[in-house]
Amino acid sequence: MASTLHLFIFSIAVVFFSSSNVANCTPQAFQLSIRKDDVTLQYYTSFEVGLTQFIVDAVIDLGAPFLWFNCDDGYNSSSYNPVPCGSSKCKTAKGIGCSGCNGTPRPGCTNNTCSMFPYNPFNNSLRSGGLGEDNIYVYETDGRSVLLQINVPRFPFVCADSGSLNGLAKGTKGILGLGRTQIALPMQLANAFKLKRKFALCVPSSSQSGLGDIFIGGGPYYMLPYTKNVSELLITTPLIINPVSTAPIYSEGDPSDEYFIGVKSIKIDGQIVKLKTSLLSIDNKGVGGTKISTINPYTILHTSIYKAVLKDFVKKAASRKITRVASVAPFGACFSSKTIASTMTGPAVPTIDLVLQSKSVYWRIYGANSMVKVKENVLCLGVVDGGSKPRTSIVIGGHQLEDNMLEFDLASSKLGFSSSLLLHNTNCSHYRIF
């Protein structure tokens, strides 16, 4: 998957820029490209690891704590170093115990190694693996262009095996975590290069016309043909820390590594949806609230919220003379696209506002992000029923994030969001110039 256009272009750039000798370089920000897999609807990125610059395609999990990938598929770097159990690095990574191996020593098969547990959310599997370090190679950016390839030494990750990959997009080798931890990519790069503790996502709706972006280190962000700095469009809201971990394995007292925001109410075409507002808050057991996810393709709602949203959306759609048709699983409200006009922000359907810290601060969701084409002439509201006892009441999924710029400011614990970039005649699918 990685042997495609952008990595080919990157390799040409390396010839000109000799990236292996940039020890004195002081990058201001980094960029990784994002692709969307059309089969699984997962988002993934590519980077290189080790002296041989082994290419890793990794699915992006916004809330996962660390990078893990299959070390048994051609990765055998002489620059790899296992992290000893009981070491300060192991403690920083929140390692649990020691792992060993009876085979020939290689990455993923070492003794007295810090033990970690890579989690695959797509098949709900948890396996053990050893924490190690190696060089990774990522690209510097000025927000417009991709610049030098930079060697990041001793980057921590966990070696998994091929059995960990079930459910991941074909050709991917693991998961890149961007969660609130010291060993996730954003903090590792920020600490190594003294960058701003910020990262941003611009998730593409398709990879057919270009790639999306992960930016590490802050803006500016340029999304042609829009000529201005997209960071100027961002509205900010506090990031909320869930005091109880949402990970499959954790220690008592650990907070969640995921990113939560404070949705106070929901409006459809300006009208407040009547719902149980206590579901929008996180209780003392870590239940409730709203989080952002790149691993769920569509927004997931607590059953009572789901029913209320569908009811009001259908009512508002009917007032626009939009014809409802038979539902198509997993969606509960579908419509004839023949009765829906098109606009620059997608199908002309009722807008959905996630109202945040005040009535004047809201994340507006337009038709391109709310509707999903399921078959010819049928569009469905892209939210699904999460049941009556979900851990999180609202999980904002990938489809609702597409073609929106999201900036996570870890220093000030704030989220900046643009709403749909389609409003500005641009999107998250493009090719960056050198």
Do 392 and 272 reside in the same domain of the chain?
yes
Confidence check: pLDDT of 24 > 50: no
- Whether residue 351 is contained in a domain is answered as yes
Q: Which of 193, 216, 239 is the last residue of a domain?
A: 216
Q: What domain count does the chain have?
A: 2
Do 254 and 325 reside in the same domain of the chain?
yes
CA distance 335 to 256: 38
Do 181 and 291 reside in the same domain of the chain?
no
Q: Give the pLDDT score at 50.
A: 95
Q: Which of 216, 241, 260 is the last residue of a domain?
A: 216
Q: Which of 155, 186, 216 is the last residue of a domain?
A: 216
Q: Give the pLDDT score at 7.
A: 44
Domain that holds residue 102: 5-216
pTM of the model: 0.92
Q: Contacts from 186-190 at CB under 8 Å and sequence distance 24+?
A: 186/216, 186/408, 186/410, 187/410, 188/152, 188/155, 188/156, 189/30, 189/138, 189/152, 189/216, 189/217, 190/216, 190/217, 190/410
Do 60 and 183 reside in the same domain of the chain?
yes
- Whether residue 387 is contained in a domain is answered as yes
Do 109 and 256 reside in the same domain of the chain?
no
Do 145 and 241 reside in the same domain of the chain?
no
Do 92 and 201 reside in the same domain of the chain?
yes
- Whether residue 221 is contained in a domain is answered as no
Do 105 and 157 reside in the same domain of the chain?
yes
pLDDT tens digits, 226-282: 999 999 999 999 999 999 999 998 999 999 999 999 999 999 999 999 999 999 999
Q: Give the pLDDT score at 103.
A: 86
**Confidence band for 13, pLDDT divided at 50, 70 and 90:** very low
Residue 203 burial class via C-beta count within 10 angstroms: exposed 0-12, middle 13-18, buried 19 and up: buried
Q: 99-103, 256-260, 286-290, 353-357: which range is least confident on average?
A: 99-103
Do 107 and 238 reside in the same domain of the chain?
no
Do 284 and 198 reside in the same domain of the chain?
no
**Confidence band for 434, pLDDT divided at 50, 70 and 90:** low
CATH code for the domain in which residue 264 is found: 2.40.70.10
Do 205 and 272 reside in the same domain of the chain?
no
